[in-house]
Amino acid sequence: MSAADKKKGVGADLIIPAAALVFTLYYFWSIWNSPWTAQVSAFFIGSILIVLIVAFTLKTAIALYRKEAHLGVGELLAPRSLLSVRIGLLMMTIGYVIVIRWAGFTLTTGVFLFGAMLILGRGRRKRLIAIVSIAMALSGYLLFIVAFETRFPRGPFEELMRSLF
């Protein structure tokens, strides 16, 4: 293994501190003209957080300067072979959260489970996946909406059931 291969990718490690820093600065901006009661704990916690982030950035910079690390984000996306599957699952999840409002819990859950399982199973066992998806979506409907009367998002399926029973 070459020295370059031994270097640790630290780019991904900086994402959380960067997000924390941006959020903290935004938070400070949002309370700048507020009464002291709104500011006191946030300024205290935020200041410590900024000090910690600065220390972490310095530590990372030193590692980069010493060539012990590089700014790659490979760790975040590893294993690469699963990248397309992971992106597919993420897209399905985003779609699920957006569509459930209109299509309702049962229909959206059924379609999401089928699609996501198909992506993860790489297109294999379609029939079993279809049966599991339908069974789980209907079980969810019976447990949460019929039995617990939870106000999950309602769509065509729930309306149809309501008109039938």
Partner 1 sequence: MEFSADLFISLFFHTLGYWWVIIPSIFLGLIVGAIPGFSAANTIIILLPLTLVMNVEVGLIFMVALYCSSRMGAGIPAILVNIPGTAGAAATPLDGYPMTKAGRAQQALAISFVSSTFGGLLTTVVALLTMPWLARLSFYMHSVEMIVVMLFGISLIATIAARDTLKGLIAGFFGLMIGAIGADHVYATPRGTFGLLELYDGIPLIPALVGLFAVSEAFLMIEGESILSQHGKDMIRRSGWAATMEGARIALSRWWHITWNSLIGLVIGVIPGAGASIASFVAYQQSRTYSKTPELYGTGHPEGLIAPESANNGVTSGTLIPLMILGIPGGATAAIMLVVMQYHGVILGPALFANYPELGYGVFMAMAVTYLIMIFTILPLARYMSRVTLLSTVYMSPLVIAFTLVGSFVPREYMFDMYLGLAFGVIGYVARKTGYHVAAILIGVILGPLLEQYFLRALRMSDGDLMVLFSSKIGNVLWVLLFVSVTFSLVVQHRRRTVVPSQSTVE
Residue at token pair 């897209």: 91
- The reply on whether position 130 binds partner 1 by CB under 8 A is no
Does residue number 19 form part of the binding site for partner 1 (CB under 8 A)?
Answer: yes
How many Cβ atoms from other residues are within 10 Å of residue 59's Cβ?
Answer: 13
Q: What Rg do the C-alpha atoms of the chain give, in angstroms?
A: 24
63 interacts with partner 1 by CB under 8 A: no
Q: DSSP letters along 98-128, please?
A: HHHHHH-HHHHHHHHHHHHHHHHTTT--HHH
- Piece of the chain touching partner 1 by CB under 8 A; list 64-72, 143-151, 155-163: 143-151
Taking CB under 8 A as the binding criterion, the range among 64-72, 111-119, 156-164 that sits at the site for partner 1 is: 111-119
Is residue 84 involved in binding partner 1 (CB under 8 A)?
Answer: no
95 to 101, 109, 125, 135: CA distances (angstroms): 11, 11, 23, 21
Distance CA(84)–CA(16), nearest Å, equals 23
Report the interface residues with partner 1, using CB under 8 A.
Answer: 12-13, 15-17, 19-20, 23-24, 26-27, 30-31, 34-35, 37-38, 40-42, 45-46, 48-49, 52-53, 55-56, 59, 75-76, 78-79, 82, 85-86, 89-90, 92-94, 96-97, 100-101, 105, 109, 112-113, 116-117, 120-121, 129, 132, 136, 140, 143-144, 148-153
